Amino acid sequence: MARKQFAHHEAVSAVVPGEGGYSAAVAVKALDGMGAPRFHKILEGQQFKTASDADDAATVQLERLIDVDEEGQLTWNTAG
């Protein structure tokens, strides 16, 4: 599990189980500790056979995450 901290939130690589496999995700939690984490599925359309593979993919994508706004929405680096 990889982590990144921003002004108001922490983002963590995550996995969402589903039929036939796992999806890569980013979980976002407010730094003030209030509220439950929000899970954002990433790499739409891709399923992974194991949770470990999905978390590895989420970790790679987390490196591209450049910000989480006050509402918990993700901003990605689209360069490259």
Q: What is the pLDDT of residues 22-77, one digit of tens each?
A: 999 999 999 987 789 999 999 999 999 999 999 999 999 999 999 998 888 999 99
The residue segments making up the domain with residue 13 are: 3-76
In this predicted structure, what is the pLDDT of residue 70?
A: 84
How many domains, the chain?
1
Per-residue pLDDT at 11 exceeds 80: yes
Distance of alpha carbon 43 from alpha carbon 53, whole angstroms: 13
In this predicted structure, what is the pLDDT of residue 78?
A: 83
Per-residue pLDDT at 80 exceeds 60: no
Q: Helix/strand/coil (H, E, C) string of the chain?
A: CCEEECCCEEEEEEEEEECCEEEEEEEEEECCCCCCCEEEECCCCCCECCHHHHHHHHHHHHCCEEEECCCCCEEECCCC
pTM (two decimals): 0.89
In this predicted structure, what is the pLDDT of residue 34?
A: 78
